[in-house]
Structure 1
Amino acid sequence: MSRPPVLHPLAVRIAHWLNAFAIACMISSGWGIYNASPLFPFKFASWMTLGGWLGGSIAWHFAAMWLLVANGLFYLLYGALSGHFRRHLLPVRAGEVWRDAGQALRLKLPHQPGVYNAVQKLLYWAVMLLGILVVLSGLALWKPVQLDWLADLFGGFDFARKVHFAAMAGIAAFVVVHLALVAIVPRTLIPMFTGGHDKKANAS
């Protein structure tokens, strides 16, 4: 009897944990940068920020940015070329999203190891798009003169800051939902370390 396939291939697990580290660093260091020149009438608590001061936060932010970009490109290429996106994240149908969202709100959404429900599929595509948006708007903020065309695409430097903040907030919201789902179904965490195996594959 052949061994069942892993739930999470090694490439997916590596990309997942590198993204988790990079996003945590980018969000916390970004909050430190935000505190130096707030967009809105509030600041983040110092314990929520990374870097200790503006220069330190900027250094952490750029270091994490390059890790996020490199790892994101790797994941996108792997997902497209290996068929991971086609097998696990497609298709996304509106009717299925509404059905699964309703079941999730009633805490009646069934969980099958290795199977993404429609809400998860939509959220993963959304966070990938937010990742692209946060990187592009960040580049516009980093090089507003050299990349003036990109800054203009976002409506200028000031509006690019708002786009960058909104994209970051969306990613942070995704992380909160993701962690909440893990807390509700904790058995999903171990396979993200070990790979796990789809035991049902033997029965098919």
Structure 2
Amino acid sequence: MSDSQAIVLVHPVVVRVTHWINAFAMICMLMSGWAIYNASPIFPFHFPVWATVGGWLGGSIAWHFAAMWLLCANGLLYLAYGVTSGHLRRKLLPVRARDVARDAALALRFRLPHESGRYNAVQRALYLSVLLLGALLVASGLSIWKPVQLSWLTALFGGFDFARRVHFVAMVGVAGFVVVHLLLVLLVPRTLPPMFTGRTRRRAHRTDEASNRARV
């Protein structure tokens, strides 16, 4: 049977909305976090002022907490939808080391095929990693924010000073994910419009066209 092009729904509205809220909240958290870091650096460097928000320490902390609650609420919404709908299982699992190594090698040679709405092994590993990093950021951030009230959590991270380092390393991981994510969009720009519209053209089997075609 012959193949034909079909307009299919690849990103449900919940995924699109939570994606853009996450992007906004993550940028706010990174820039406000850099300003907070500059007030008491743990390494011998500062972030440029133009890359920070808040204007002063109190303002940056206010930005950071506002973005944190937004990110947590949005993340819980995404996880609830992803688990109940099967989205996380379908899109991000399974992740096998050999598949990640194979797709990473193809990506380095610019030979990795990409189709909107279908994640390769490298993407699945990256998305799962950033979810885990997000949980680590929240936990280490709470241990820094309330080191007395949550002393057990602070102790779990090896004390206040080490918890700050864990928080910083997790932040670097998230920032790295954002950079890689943006680079992939630049390399494969056709993946961006579906994150607004939810739909893309995909080669579909004729017998499956009716069930896969999205309403426009």
TM class by shorter-chain length?
A: over 0.9
Using CA pairs under 8 Å that are at least 6 residues apart, name the structure with larger relative contact order, 1 or 2: 2
1:178 aligned residue: 181
How many percent of aligned residue pairs carry the same amino acid? 66
Q: What amino acid is the match of 2:191?
A: T
Deviations 1:9-66 (A, max 9, x none): 0000011000000000000000000000001000000000010111110000000000
Q: Does the alignment pair 1:141 with 2:144?
A: yes
1:93 aligned residue: 96
Whole-Å separation in 2 of the counterparts to 1:182 and 1:5: 20
1:12 aligned residue: 15
Q: Which protein has the bigger strand share?
A: 2
- In angstroms, what is the RMSD of aligned CA positions? 1.2
1:45 aligned residue: 48
Whether the 8 Å contact between 2:116 and 2:194 is mirrored in structure 1 is no
Q: Which runs of 5+ in 2 are unaligned?
A: 1-5, 209-216
Task: Give how far 1:183 is off.
Answer: 0.2
Deviations 1:157-185 (A, max 9, x none): 00000000000000000000000000000
Whether the 8 Å contact between 2:99 and 2:121 is mirrored in structure 1 is yes
Whole-Å separation in 1 of the counterparts to 2:193 and 2:205: 21
Q: What amino acid is the match of 1:173?
A: G
Q: Does the alignment pair 1:200 with 2:203?
A: yes
Whether the 8 Å contact between 1:140 and 1:157 is mirrored in structure 2 is yes
TM-score with structure 1 setting the length: 0.96
Whole-Å separation in 1 of the counterparts to 2:106 and 2:125: 15
Q: What amino acid is the match of 1:77?
A: A
Q: Does the alignment pair 1:74 with 2:77?
A: yes
Q: What amino acid is the match of 1:69?
A: C
Q: Secondary structure at the match of 1:8?
A: coil
Whole-Å separation in 1 of the counterparts to 2:96 and 2:176: 22
Q: What amino acid is the match of 1:180?
A: L
Whether the 8 Å contact between 1:8 and 1:191 is mirrored in structure 2 is yes
Whole-Å separation in 1 of the counterparts to 2:132 and 2:104: 20
Q: Which runs of 5+ in 1 are unaligned?
A: none
Task: Give how far 1:112 is off.
Answer: 1.6
2:169 aligned residue: 166
Q: Does the alignment pair 1:62 with 2:69?
A: no
Whole-Å separation in 1 of the counterparts to 2:134 and 2:78: 12
1:150 aligned residue: 153
1:28 aligned residue: 31
Task: Give how far 1:202 is off.
Answer: 5.4
